[in-house]
Structure 1
Amino acid sequence: MGDPVEPPEGTPDGGSGNEDEYRSVVFDESFVRAARIQEFSARERLGGNHPRAVRRRGLFGTLSRQALALLLLVVLAFAAAVYFGVAAPQPQSGRPSGSQLTVSLVALAPSSDVTPVADPNAPFAALPASYRDGIVGLGTPGGSATVHFTRADVLRALDTVQRYLSISSLAPNTLVHGETADARRLVTPGQQSQYDQSTATPSDDQHHAATGWLVRFDPAKVALATDTVKAVGAMTIDEADAGVLEIDTDHTFVYALRPADAPGGPVTLHTVRRALRFEFDRADLAAGRLRLVDSVVQAGPTPCNSRLAAYLQPMLGGTASAAVTDPGDHSRAAWAVCGVLKP
C-alpha cells in the first residue's frame, strides 16, 4: 500500500509529495483573521451587491455604520469637554487679590472768606485738645483676637494700617513732594496696578483718584508751614468672613499750609477727613500687605468746582468764598459732591 500522504496518481514530477515543503506558504488561522482584506464568500458574491471582490478589515472596516456614528459622537463629546474645560475661567481660591478700590471725594466749601491763622508760629492753637500730633492722634487700639483670627494676626494688621496711614497722611514726602513708592510697598500685589494707574494718570472715575490712596497737595502751589500734622480718630476691627479680617479707620487730619512761592506768607489750616476700609486675607497678613477697598475723603476749605483726583485743592488765607457747583457744567463728573465746611 502506498504512503497515505501521497496522491493516488503519485507525486508530481520533481516533488517530494510531502506537506512540509508547503508549510512556509500556508497561513495559519490567526494570520488569516488578522488580514486587512478578506474575500467575500461565494454566497455574498452571488448576491451581486458587492462591486469589489474583497472587503477591507480592521477597526473601521468591521464596524457597522451605527457603531461608527456612536464612536464619532463620543469623540466629539470628549473633545468639546476638553475644550470648554480649558477655555472656561477657572474659579479662584479664596478672595480675589485684586479687589478694586472705590473712591468718593467731597469738597468742603467755606461759608465765608478764608482767613489765615492768627499766629503762624502756633497754627493749631485753636484746635480742640482731642487733636494729637501725628501717629499718636491715630488712636491705634491694642487689639484682641476675633473669632477666626488670633490676637497676633490682629496686631499685625493694625501695625500695617498704622504704617500706611502714617505714610499716606502724615509724611511730608507724600504730602508735598510727590512720593508714592513708600505707600505702594504696603499695597497687596493685586491692587498695585490700580495704584500705579491712579498715581501716574489720576482720574475722577471713582477708582483711579490718587487722593483716594494718599493725601497730597500740588507742590507748585502749596507748601507745609510745619511738618507737624494734627489727627484725631479711631479704628475698628471686624471680620468680613472667616478668611478676611477687616479694619475700618475714620480720622480727621489738620494741615498747616502756606503758598509755595511765599515762605513767609500767611498760614491756613486745611482739614481732611479720611474714612477708609482695609481688608486682609491670611496671605496679606503674612506679607505685611493690605487691601484698601473703600476710601471716602472730605477736604476743605476747597472750592466746589475743584477737581480733586490728582491733588487736593486747598483754599489759602485771603481767598474769597468758593464758587458754587454748577449742575450745567458737564465737564465735571456727576458724582462730584460738595458740602459746606463748618466755620
Structure 2
Amino acid sequence: MSDVVIDDAARRAVELASETLQIEADALIALQARLQNEDAAGFAHAVRMLLSCKGRVVVSGIGKSGHIARKIAATFASTGTPSFFVHPAEAAHGDLGMITSQDIFIAISYSGEAAELMSILPIIKRLGVKLISLTGNPASSLAKIADVHLSLQVDKEACPLNLAPTASTTVTLALGDALAVAVLDARGFREEDFARSHPGGALGRRLLTYVKDVMRTGDAIPSVSPDTKLTSALLEITKKGMAMTAVVDTARNIVGVFTDGDLRRMMEGVCDFTQISIGDVMHTNPRSIRADQLAVEAVEVMETHRINQLLVTDEQGKLVGALHIHDLTRAKVI
C-alpha cells in the first residue's frame, strides 16, 4: 500500500477534527464539575422526581434538541423507566392528550426560549405535571418555570462559526445518560431487566433463553436401558445424531451415558461388541442440567468440562431432554 499524502486540506481537516473532540471533551469535563458542585442538589432532586414518577417520563425538544430528546427517551425506556418523546409542535395540535398529571416532563432547549416548547408548557403546568428543564441559560424562561433546572452551558460550540449545536448537544446527550444511569441504579435495574427490554439482542438471548426452550425432547432424545446390547445402543446413537445416548431405568432415572468418545476408547481393547451390554461400559454419574435453568448455564457446564452434550432432567432428576452444543449455537446463545 502506498503512503497516504497529507496535503494542506487534509491537514486542516484533521486539525479541525481534533479541535472538535477537544472542545466537546472540555464541555463534558465542565458538566461533570457542575454536577459535583453547584448542580449536585438539583441533579439529586431530578433523580428523586424520576424515581417517584407514577406515570411516564415525557421528553421533548425541537430541532437538534429534539433529536437528542428522542434518544434520551429511548434510553430511559430501555433501562426500566417508561418514557416516550413528544414533538412540541405536534403536542400543540393534539398530542398533549398523551400526557397525564402523573407524568414528568423533561423539556430541552439550549436557549431556554424555544417558542414551540414554551407554547405548550402552560398547559403542562396546569395539568400538574412536574417539569425538569435542561437549558444552557439558567435565566431563561424555561429554566425559571421548571421545578428543577439542570445546566447545559458550554463555553463554545465545536462549530468554527460557534453556531451549529455540537458541544451543547453532546453535553445534553451525556446529561440525559447520567440521569438514566442514576435512576436505573437507584431502581435496582439488573441485567435480567435489561434483557427483557432487549429480547432480540445477544444479551436478551443469553438471559431469557432456558434449557427447556432449546433442548431435544420426546423421540429425539437418545436413550436406552442398561441391559441394551452395545450394538443396539450404537444404532440409537447414530439414529438420534447426538454422538451419545443416555442410559435410563424403567422410571426414566438416569443411570449413565455412553458417547462416541467412550466407543473410541473401547475400540483399543475390545474386539467383539456383540455380547456387551451398555450397562457394562457406560459412564456413570454423567453431567446434567435441569430444564428450568438458563441455557447460558448449560454453555458454562459444557465449557468447564469440555463436553458437547448434556442430559436434561426435571426437578426429580428424571430424563426429560438432551442438549447438544449445536442446539445452543442455533439458538444464538453462543
TM-score range, shorter chain: under 0.3
Larger Rg: 1
Greater share of helix: 2
Q: Give the number of the structure with larger relative contact order, counting CA–CA contacts within 8 Å between residues 6 or more apart.
A: 1
With structure 1 as the length reference, what TM-score do the two structures score?
A: 0.17
